[in-house]
Amino acid sequence: MNEFPEAICPLCSQLHVRERLHSHIKEEHPRVREATCRVIQAYHKGWAAEHGACEPCWKSFRDAGRILCVLKQTRPQSPTSG
């Protein structure tokens, strides 16, 4: 049986080359990959890195994860009692 060279991104349902749903995830730094996976899973219950994601979706969720990280680090200062 021939395997189809295309696959559907489980996040956006667009057709992509199958290998492109996985290669960029494997190449990502482990810490960034883990954080990005957590953000994706928050929006897509049951998703796992083995399911893959197209590059535009991956980058979008990776950037969202970075923004969340920055927001966590910038805590609002408590008002001073005077």
Which CB contacts under 8 angstroms, 24+ apart, belong to 70-75? Answer: none
pLDDT in tens, 5-59: 889 999 999 999 988 999 999 999 999 999 999 999 999 999 999 999 999 999 9
Rounded Cα distance between 25 and 67, Å, is: 19
Alpha-carbon dihedral sign for residues 18, 48, 12, 71 = negative
Q: What are the domain boundaries of the chain?
A: 6-72
Is the pTM of the predicted complex or chain greater than 0.75? Answer: yes
